[in-house]
């Protein structure tokens, strides 16, 4: 099959979250299965010169956008059998960050650019796969705008990576940026609950909708997780499929990772302790192999359950012999909580506000326990990466966390982590206490670490599921 993907992010070129990891890894696995894959993303000026210096300008395209003639360059870069196409327009993508205040207009431009590129290709794709709200209007334009009538029969898939972000704007925003008839809004085609809703529109027009885990697929049909779109999703649930994300097992491989202090694998874990001491040195914490080292690598937002840690961590640090290292940034109130925690427990806590890819790899490799108290988690990649490196997740039982973390059974020595559901019988603090208790029992701790490391978290299984879904649609 010839497959085209369009997204706002793609690792390693431009990354703000897990969406980029998916777009960086899934196409490569589909290519390995023998499919031809093109990926279209914006050419942000923040893309490292290491990559941008290798991009080749293939063509310049002129088209009408918002009643004016606009142009963009199409740059090409081949990697691992995948052709990456970058849309260059300085007024929209020459920025210091991926997202901004004028995203409605920027991604409306990108949506049209995607279709202009497809329309100019000699061989039309069998399937177009778009991701999240940023590209969700592409299927609508494909079907409804006469400019694209020659490619209208292309089959389409939309993946929801996080339902919380729907691309909701005003009616005027729709009319100004898409130059389509007002009836599409007035008749409720692009409208939902008083807003122009990009994601809802995309869901209406694609052949299939996927989520990034089976449990999240079921959760978003409920009031609690449905982000006020659940009643609409219930009408489309026969076209809603949950496929679990994977991770790039070449990038995240403790046996070959050059970002960490010492490589190791499930058969020889001595290197894990070397990485632990490297973290402690960098963090200015006492270098001890016997103390449990907890970590969290996360965007600091309400979704991620920081409020849970506000209750649990101060008490735990006051009463227990342990260390905690955070890597992340986000809402000011949560950043301030962790800064205060580090000030209160300078010999136990280290905080790095921001992001550092190499340090993230070291934390995955050297920590003992990884914290994920998320209130919801469509898939989650951190628990998969941490288990790959023998770091044991303590997580809330939601979304992809529920699908991938299995509660440790001391009788069978089976399972790869510890789970809570925030109930009185299974609070997060109790799940963490259980993990810390098993940390003191080497026989069990080695078992839970090894179980995690031996799991298959690769994209190969997920890519095969996507390929089957594409085939059924076509």
12 and 136 in one domain? yes
Expressed in angstroms, the distance from the first to the final Cα of the chain is: 9
Task: Break the chain down into helix, strand, coil percent, rounded to 5.
Answer: 40, 25, 35
Q: What pLDDT sits at residue 62?
A: 97
Q: What is the spatial distance between Cα 161 and Cα 23, in angstroms, rounded to a whole number?
A: 11
- Going by the annotation, the residues of the binding site for ADP-alpha-D-glucose are 15
- Residue carrying the six token digits 């090409």: 76
Q: What pLDDT sits at residue 355?
A: 86
Per-position b or e across 211-224, b if 16+ CB within 10 A of its CB:
bbbbbbbebbbeee
Q: How confident is the model at residue 28 (pLDDT cuts 50, 70, 90)?
A: very high
Q: What pLDDT sits at residue 217?
A: 98
Nearest to 112 by CA among 42, 74, 65: 65
Question: What DSSP string describes 391-407?
Answer: PEEEEESSHHHHHH--B
Cβ neighbors of 126 (< 8 A, separation 6 or more) are 1, 2, 3, 154, 155, 470, 474
State yes or no: pLDDT of 388 exceeds 90.
yes
- Going by the annotation, the residues of the binding site are 15
Section 302-319 average pLDDT: 96
Question: Per-residue pLDDT tens for 86-108?
Answer: 999 999 999 888 999 999 999 99
229 and 107 in one domain? yes
Whether 79 contacts 55, CB under 8 Å: no
Question: Per-residue pLDDT tens for 210-267?
Answer: 999 999 999 999 999 999 999 999 999 999 999 999 998 999 999 999 999 999 999 9
Parallel, antiparallel, or unpaired: how do β-strands 392-396 and 418-420 relate? parallel
Section 297-316 average pLDDT: 96
In degrees, rounded to 5, the angle at the alpha carbon of residue 50 between the alpha carbons of residues 48 and 51 is: 75
Q: Report the CATH number that the domain containing residue 35 is assigned in CATH.
A: 3.40.50.2000
121 and 227 in one domain? yes
Question: Per-residue pLDDT tens for 340-367?
Answer: 999 999 999 999 999 899 999 999 999 9
Q: What pLDDT sits at residue 252?
A: 94
283 and 231 in one domain? no
Q: How confident is the model at residue 422 (pLDDT cuts 50, 70, 90)?
A: confident
Question: Is residue 252 in some structural domain?
Answer: no
Q: How confident is the model at residue 49 (pLDDT cuts 50, 70, 90)?
A: very high
352 and 229 in one domain? no
State yes or no: pLDDT of 16 exceeds 90.
no
299 and 410 in one domain? yes
What is the total residue count of the chain?
Answer: 474
For residue 423, what are the domain limits? 270-453
Looking at the structure of the chain, the number of domains it has is 2
226 and 278 in one domain? no
Whether 213 contacts 398, CB under 8 Å: no
185 and 77 in one domain? yes
Q: What is the spatial distance between Cα 321 and Cα 440, in angstroms, rounded to a whole number?
A: 12
């Amino acid at each position: 099959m010839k497959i085209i993907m369009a997204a706002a992010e793609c690792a390693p070129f431009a990354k703000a979250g897990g969406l980029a990891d998916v777009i960086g890894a899934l196409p490569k696995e589909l290519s390995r299965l023998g499919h031809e894959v093109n990926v279209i993303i914006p050419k942000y000026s923040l893309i490292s010169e290491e990559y941008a210096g290798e991009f080749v300008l293939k063509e310049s395209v002129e088209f009408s956008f918002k009643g004016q003639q606009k142009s963009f360059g199409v740059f090409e870069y081949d990697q691992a059998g995948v052709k990456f196409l970058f849309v260059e327009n300085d007024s929209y993508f020459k920025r210091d960050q991926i997202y901004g205040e004028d995203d409605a207009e920027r991604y409306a431009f990108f949506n049209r650019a995607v279709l202009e590129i497809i329309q100019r290709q000699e061989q039309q794709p069998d399937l177009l796969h778009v991701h999240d709200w940023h590209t969700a209007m592409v299927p609508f334009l494909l079907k409804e705008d006469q400019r694209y009538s020659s490619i209208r029969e292309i089959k389409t898939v939309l993946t929801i990576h996080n339902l919380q972000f729907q691309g909701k704007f005003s009616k005027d925003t729709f009319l100004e940026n898409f130059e389509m008839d007002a009836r599409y809004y007035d008749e409720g085609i692009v409208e939902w609950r008083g807003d122009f809703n990009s994601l809802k529109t995309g869901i209406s027009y694609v052949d299939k909708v996927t989520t990034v885990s089976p449990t999240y697929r079921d959760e978003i049909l409920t009031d609690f997780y449905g982000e006020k779109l659940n009643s609409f999703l219930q009408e489309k649930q026969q076209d809603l499929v949950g496929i679990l994300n994977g991770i790039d097992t070449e990038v995240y491989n403790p046996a070959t990772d050059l970002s960490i202090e010492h490589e190791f694998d499930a058969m020889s874990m001595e290197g894990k302790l070397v990485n632990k001491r490297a973290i402690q040195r960098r963090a200015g914490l006492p270098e001890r192999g016997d103390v449990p080292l907890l970590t969290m690598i996360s965007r600091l937002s309400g979704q991620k359950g920081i409020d849970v840690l506000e209750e649990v961590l101060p008490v735990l640090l006051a009463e227990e012999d342990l260390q905690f290292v955070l890597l992340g940034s986000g809402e000011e109130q949560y950043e301030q909580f962790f800064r205060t925690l580090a000030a209160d427990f300078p010999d136990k806590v280290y905080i790095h506000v921001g992001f550092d890819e190499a340090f993230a790899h070291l934390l995955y490799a050297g920590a003992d326990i990884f914290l994920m108290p998320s209130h919801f988690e469509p898939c989650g990649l951190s628990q998969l990466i941490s288990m790959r490196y023998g770091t044991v997740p303590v997580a809330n039982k939601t979304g992809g966390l529920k699908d991938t973390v299995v509660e440790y059974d001391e009788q069978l020595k089976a399972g790869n982590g510890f789970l809570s559901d925030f109930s009185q019988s299974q609070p997060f603090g109790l799940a963490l206490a259980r993990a810390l208790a098993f940390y003191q029992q080497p026989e069990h701790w080695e078992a839970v670490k090894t179980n995690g490391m031996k799991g298959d978290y690769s994209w190969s299984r997920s890519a095969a599921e996507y390929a089957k879904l594409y085939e059924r649609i076509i």
